[in-house]
């Protein structure tokens, strides 16, 4: 555990690509415009009492109506790629495989894709960034019914590949299955908000949801590989998030294995089946017992068959925490392998400076260690699909203060240096980087207070103003990529 260094502007490969990321519900608005159906986030953000700081994504950044202005702005930052997601309920309002397609929704994404390509920006498109059509929960519990959900997700994916795949070459099935499973169906902090308090079975729901995600991901990979890839020549993968975990006591085997176990419960849960075509990690089997679904012979065959098709490991990463083994018996709905996440270690030390979010500390060494952990276990090229932070106090700042975002610039600089070290000192293949986020947006349960953008958004007027970090990234990538060949 060491303090952050100074930014060194270390080199990156000349063909390293960079860009910025967003997600549909967080920026689009137009919640019921042009035939869009309701997603679980439309429902969740309108619950009383509010679970989203009294705010919702009805208007958000109004990107739905300001799309070409936004693409012009990102072009001015010099991005190579733009990572976005498709709102399922915009293209199939009810979501099901036999439900009507909304051509106005299709047309919005067609215009967006064309707009990007006209400015030489390559789209990376995520099919699912948390906004399931509400109707799929009403009908059969969505992710809680593997067979039904898989069939509906396959049809949605087919629609996207067939309508957009002539121009879109980089596909992602799911964003952050851990968050969908645990935050959606255990703590209930995110939609659909299932928790013990709402009477849901938190012993089993998260693992059933995770199982559906793994299987439907593999099924869609197979569909892409057999029906589309031969003609369209694109790639497909999944995006996983995860903190790095340092042991709470660096000299104790118990806490060292707790840190390893925490990584397996967070990342191995999805990455072992998806990228290795293997069962869930053995620690999960041992500790969760019958709570964890089994893979059928047929499902295992699908996983083994599709594992090598995934093009790279899509990594969303923000920060590092300490992992502390608990000595009490685990809760009956334990989901961590009986490991507690803490901000302070046994010597009272904290990891790096805190950002505008209490859980997000600047810890670039942990990032480099996570890159090594993922590389050693999965042997796959890595793309950083999200990384960023809000500045301390940014939620209360004036426009002038927010755009002068030196804390964010330093965070980016240190995390990019960590990538350089991983590439040139550790021999890891990292191919690209997306900053989270292209613009300030609806930060889920935190509402509009948490500003992650490299572009400031004034929510009253919807005026966009570049922050200094946008120009820092432009210049830094240009210089870093010239330092080696």
Residue 324 and residue 319: Cα distance in Å, rounded?
17
Q: Which residues pair with 322 in a beta bridge?
A: 246, 342
28 belongs to the catalytic site:
no
3-class DSSP string for 383-417: EEEECCCCCCCHHHCCHHHHHCCHHHHHHHHHHHH
Q: Is the Cβ of residue 94 or residue 351 nearer to ligand GBH in the bound state?
A: 351
CB of 162 to ligand GBH, least distance (A): 26
Q: Is the Cβ of residue 159 or residue 374 nearer to ligand GBH in the bound state?
A: 374
Nearest residue to ligand GBH on Cβ basis: 359
Residue 52 and residue 34: Cα distance in Å, rounded?
25
Question: Under a CB-based contact definition with an 8 Å cutoff, are residues 184 and 124 in contact?
Answer: no
CB of 26 to ligand GBH, least distance (A): 6
CB of 335 to ligand GBH, least distance (A): 12
Contacts with ligand GBH in 369-398 (CB under 6 A)?
Answer: 386
Residue 447 and residue 126: Cα distance in Å, rounded?
22
By C-alpha distance, which of 152, 174, 190 is closest to 37? Answer: 152
Sign of the alpha-carbon torsion through 313, 163, 214, 89: positive
Verify binding: residue 269, ligand GBH, rule CB under 6 A.
no
Number of residues in contact with ligand GBH, rule: CB under 6 A? 13
Q: Is the Cβ of residue 102 or residue 241 nearer to ligand GBH in the bound state?
A: 241
Choose, by CB under 6 A, the member of 131, 272, 440, 443 that binds ligand GBH. Answer: 443
Tokens of 469: 């970090």
386 belongs to the catalytic site:
yes
Catalytic member of 176, 205, 246, 299: 176
Verify binding: residue 175, ligand GBH, rule CB under 6 A.
yes
Verify binding: residue 359, ligand GBH, rule CB under 6 A.
yes
Sign of the alpha-carbon torsion through 294, 296, 300, 305: negative
By C-alpha distance, which of 241, 235, 423 is closest to 314? Answer: 241
Contacts of 436 (CB under 8 A, 6+ apart): 20, 21, 316, 318, 386, 387, 388, 452
Choose, by CB under 6 A, the member of 157, 179, 374, 428 that binds ligand GBH. Answer: 179
What x-and-dash track marks residues 447-466 binding ligand GBH by CB under 6 A? -----x--------------
Verify binding: residue 320, ligand GBH, rule CB under 6 A.
no
Q: Catalytic amino acids?
A: 176, 386
Binding site for ligand GBH (CB under 6 A): 23, 26, 175-176, 179, 183, 241, 316, 359, 386, 436, 443, 452
């Amino acid at each position: 555990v060491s303090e952050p260094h100074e930014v060194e502007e270390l080199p990156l490969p000349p063909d390293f690509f960079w860009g910025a990321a967003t997600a549909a519900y967080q920026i689009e608005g137009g919640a019921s415009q042009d035939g869009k159906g309701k997603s679980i986030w439309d429902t969740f953000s309108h619950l009383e009492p509010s679970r989203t700081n009294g705010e919702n994504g009805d208007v958000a950044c109004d990107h739905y109506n300001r799309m070409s202005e936004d693409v012009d702005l990102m072009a001015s930052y010099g991005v190579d790629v733009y990572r976005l997601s498709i709102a399922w309920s915009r293209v199939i309002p009810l979501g099901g495989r036999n439900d009507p397609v909304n051509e106005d929704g299709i047309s919005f994404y067609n215009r967006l894709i064309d707009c990007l390509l006209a400015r030489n920006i390559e789209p990376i498109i995520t099919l699912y960034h948390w906004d399931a059509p509400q109707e799929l929960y009403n009908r059969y519990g969505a992710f809680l019914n593997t067979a039904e959900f898989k069939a509906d997700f396959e049809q949605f994916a087919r629609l996207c590949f067939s309508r957009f795949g002539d121009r879109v070459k980089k596909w992602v099935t799911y964003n952050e299955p851990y968050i969908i499973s645990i935050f959606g169906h255990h703590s209930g902090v995110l939609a659909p908000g299932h928790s013990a308090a709402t009477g849901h079975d938190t012993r089993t729901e998260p693992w059933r949801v995770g199982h559906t995600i793994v299987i439907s991901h593999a099924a869609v990979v197979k569909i892409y590989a057999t029906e589309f890839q031969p003609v369209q020549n694109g790639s497909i993968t999944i995006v996983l998030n995860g903190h790095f975990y340092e042991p709470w006591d660096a000299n104790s085997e118990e806490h060292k294995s707790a840190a390893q176990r925490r990584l397996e419960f967070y990342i191995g849960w999805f990455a072992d089946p998806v990228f290795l075509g293997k069962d869930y990690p053995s620690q999960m089997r041992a500790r969760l017992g019958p709570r964890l679904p089994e893979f059928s012979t047929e499902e295992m065959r699908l996983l083994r068959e599709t594992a090598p098709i995934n093009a790279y490991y899509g990594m969303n990463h923000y920060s590092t925490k300490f992992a502390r083994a608990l000595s009490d018996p685990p809760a009956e709905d334990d989901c961590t392998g009986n490991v507690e996440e803490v901000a302070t270690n046994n010597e009272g030390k904290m990891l790096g400076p805190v950002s505008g979010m209490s859980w997000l500390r600047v810890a670039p060494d942990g990032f480099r260690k996570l890159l090594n952990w993922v590389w050693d276990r999965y042997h796959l090229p890595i793309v950083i699909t999200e990384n960023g932070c809000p500045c301390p106090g940014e939620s209360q700042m004036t426009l002038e203060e927010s755009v002068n975002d030196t804390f964010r610039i330093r965070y980016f600089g240190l995390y990019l240096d960590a990538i350089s070290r991983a590439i040139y000192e550790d021999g890891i293949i990292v191919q690209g980087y997306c900053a989270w986020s292209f613009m300030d947006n609806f930060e889920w349960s935190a509402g509009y207070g948490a500003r992650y953008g490299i572009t400031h958004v004034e929510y009253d007027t919807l005026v966009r103003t570049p922050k200094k970090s946008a120009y820092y990234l432009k210049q830094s990538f240009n210089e870093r990529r010239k330092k080696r060949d």
